[in-house]
Chains A and B, each alone.
Chain A
Amino acid sequence: MANEADQNFNTEEAAVDTGINAEAEVYGNTAGNYGQGIAEKRNAYSDSAEYIEPQVENYAREAYEHKFSLTDQQIKDLSKKKISKGELKRQSVLLIISAIFVAYGVLFYYLPLAGWIMAFQNFKLKTGLLHSKFVGFDKFKFMFEFDMFSHALETSGSIFTAFKTWVNNVVFVRTIRNTLGMGILNLVTTFVMAIVFAILLNEVKNKLGKKLVQTISYLPHFLSWIIVCGIVHDSLSSTGIVNDLLRWFHIVDDSYNFFAHPLWFWPIVAFSNVWKETGWNAIIYLAAITAIDPSLYEAAEIDGAGRWGKIRYITLPGITPTIMILLVMNIGNIINAGFEVQYLLGNGLVQDVSQTIDIYVLKWGVGQNDYSLGTAAGIFKSVVAILLIVISNNVAKKMGQESLF
């Protein structure tokens, strides 16, 4: 028995060894082929004087560059130095390719930014960007209706009540509330669920079961939002499984219409997100857990730590950097959170809590052809997104965690 274990130990090591060798062989072969090429060339041209000169130059360059190809800092230093004419000539291919990509990027990513001018105009398709009338911040004033706020402040005298009336009465402000509310709710629920799922799945010792559960957990990620919304809708409908269960447990007598009550809308959206993305988001955490040094677990075990102890003091601290960096990356997305679910599941009865900024843009910009208003709302969204990223990045830096930039 013990012997067998020992053997396993050895074969494992051997497997790692051959893996490395195989890799080395692949690289070695490619390099070897080129080495051979050089040798053949050298034979063919050995008499001609022309051969020697470029070859020597090559070797010199090779030596020169090799010296500097060690660290990033040295590469930076090198790129500051003058690059030889031959290298510049060789790089012309790269230059042409990057010029094409820059042209493409300017056209599809940077040119639309010029369209932000529309937000300060009364833009009409006929007159175009150059000849439309400028109206300053009128569109933003129309969206936010600050007059409403100041008026409410004068009449009620309390900032809190004024703010409440403002949010409840101005469509765009309500839209911001919905976007941020659902964004935060989605972020928190999907994050917590993914981490919990990853940790619990990691505790499963049965390899086949683990693989099966994980494979199933990815499935919803590959379905489109349309399918997911259809499934959520059918599950919650009068003949759906949820109402069947509620009737079966005698919690309700008649089927409950979840989509007619504003209170249920945000939880439904959050659940849809959790259902779709938990397994997918857990992939990164599972990878991070695998990267934790197993000797830490052994040490904890010897110190008498149980399952909870190991999770609490080793697994969780081990994946904290991953959690932080993903959190920073995703906080900027709060403002993007949700367009499709809200658009597909929303209806007239819940529109006060379901409409997000994107739906507002679609409704006014595309539906009513008020391009200026749609652009203004879009600008607001972009600015908030960038602010959120910068703030969360700085907070992460201050806390001594990893950050994006």
Chain B
Amino acid sequence: MKTKKDEFALNYGSHGAEQELSAEEKRTLKRLAHKHTRRMDAWGWAFVICNTIFLLIFTIITLYPVINTVAYSFNDGLDAVRGGIYLWPRKFSLESYSKVLNIQGFVVGAKITVLRTLLGTFTSLIANALLAFVISRKRFLFRSSLSLFWVITMYVNGGMIPVMLLFKYLHLTGTFWVYIVPGMISAFNVMVLRTYMEDLPDELEESAQLDGAGYITIFIKIISPLCKPVYATIALFVAVWQWNSWFDAMLYNRMKSEYTTLQYELMKLLNSVMQQSGNANQGDTSSKQVTPVSVRSAATVVTMVPIICVYPFLQRYFVTGLTIGGVKG
């Protein structure tokens, strides 16, 4: 007796030359394939259930702490210390937010962070794109040596102390520019951009040259408009990095309170508590001034809200960027 499977193999073969099939045959093929996927045994069901449970737990673990932080931030400060707040505030209050906004460093930090994110992203994007453009010109004489020059910087660096001393000698320490200038070019981003630019057809450049366009014109008028998606990716990477960095503020501008950043201020708030955990008896926390949990939560929410609001809409950009950078680069 022929089973369906045998019949399928006999009729259509394993080579599957679909182009030669008639519409009738195509329909049969679809129907058969449909039946194959529909039929699910006990193991199949067990798999689906386990998988769903796993992904559900994963999602809860990812999302719960964030929601919990938001709930704490909207709760009354004194009441929150008792704990036991999960998904919703117990005693609603906006006091923590007004307290956060009254911390002097926080307001200054917010301004500096917004400024460094905007300016840093802008300059970095231009610099990275221009460098990638030069490296991706196939006829450029020093193409490969320039490329190697930057690839090396991905693997070798001077380390924390020499870099810090260099900034000191260059008088970058204690200025706003220490956030912008040194990190302007990232070899990884350049390589992502280069890969994208190299995939564009050469004929574009050639026909423009025929018309007498110089390289600058080609970069601005022809390559850049076609690179918009990858520009968005790089801009996103840089913006997130700028928004989230705190270490440079601590290392180079510790003494300059006018150049503090949002994340560094948050770090100071949270660190006062985290160091306390080292004390064996937790009742000891009263000995040092500790920021109440609701104020800490409010500060955290203020810092993370801008990014959380933006990232879901930029998904396709970072997905393409990562795929180019990770697999091809």
Across-interface contacts of A237 in B (CB, < 8 A): 277
A110 to B185, alpha carbons, bound, how many Å?
Answer: 14
Across-interface contacts of A27 in B (CB, < 8 A): 201, 203-204
Across-interface contacts of A299 in B (CB, < 8 A): 14
**Residues 76-117 of chain B, each 1 if its beta carbon lies under 8 Å from chain A, else 0:** 000000111010000000000000000000000000000000
Decide if A6 is an interface residue (CB 8 Å cutoff). Answer: yes
Q: For chain A, give the interface size range.
A: 35 or more
**Residues B163 and A325 in contact, CB atoms below 8 Å apart:** no
How many B residues face the partner with a CB closer than 8 A?
118
Among A34, A90, A308, point to the contact of B210 (Cβ < 8 A): A34
Across-interface contacts of B208 in A (CB, < 8 A): 34
Across-interface contacts of A226 in B (CB, < 8 A): 246, 263, 266-267, 270
Decide if A15 is an interface residue (CB 8 Å cutoff). Answer: no
A interface list, Cβ under 8 A from B: 2-3, 5-6, 9, 26-27, 30-31, 34-35, 37-38, 41, 58, 62, 65-66, 69, 75, 78-79, 83, 87-88, 90-91, 93-95, 97-98, 101-102, 104-105, 108-116, 118, 125, 197, 200-201, 203-204, 213, 215-220, 222-227, 229-235, 237-241, 244, 255, 257, 259-260, 275, 278-280, 283-284, 287-288, 295, 298-299, 301-302, 304, 306-308, 322, 325-326, 332, 340, 344-345, 347-350, 358, 361-362, 365-366, 371, 374-375, 378-379, 381-382, 385-386, 389
Across-interface contacts of A113 in B (CB, < 8 A): 156-158, 162
Q: Can you list 13 A-B pairs with a CB-CB distance of less than 8 A?
A: A30-B207, A79-B144, A90-B209, A93-B216, A118-B161, A125-B165, A219-B311, A222-B244, A226-B266, A241-B64, A280-B322, A322-B327, A386-B156
Decide if B227 is an interface residue (CB 8 Å cutoff). Answer: no
Count of A-B contacts judged by CB separation below 8 Å: 322
Across-interface contacts of A203 in B (CB, < 8 A): 47-48, 51
8 Å CB contacts to A: which residues of B126-165?
127, 130-131, 134, 137-144, 146, 149-150, 153, 155-165
- For A101, A203, A213, the residue with the greatest tally of chain B CB atoms inside 10 Å of its CB is A101
Question: What is the CB-to-nearest-CB distance from A127 to chain B, in angstroms, rounded to a whole number?
Answer: 13
Main SS of the interface on chain B?
A: helix
Across-interface contacts of A58 in B (CB, < 8 A): 209-210
Decide if B303 is an interface residue (CB 8 Å cutoff). Answer: yes
Question: What is the CB-to-nearest-CB distance from B121 to chain A, in angstroms, rounded to a whole number?
Answer: 15
When A299-B14, A301-B36 are in contact, do A229 and B274 touch as well, CB less than 8 Å?
Answer: yes
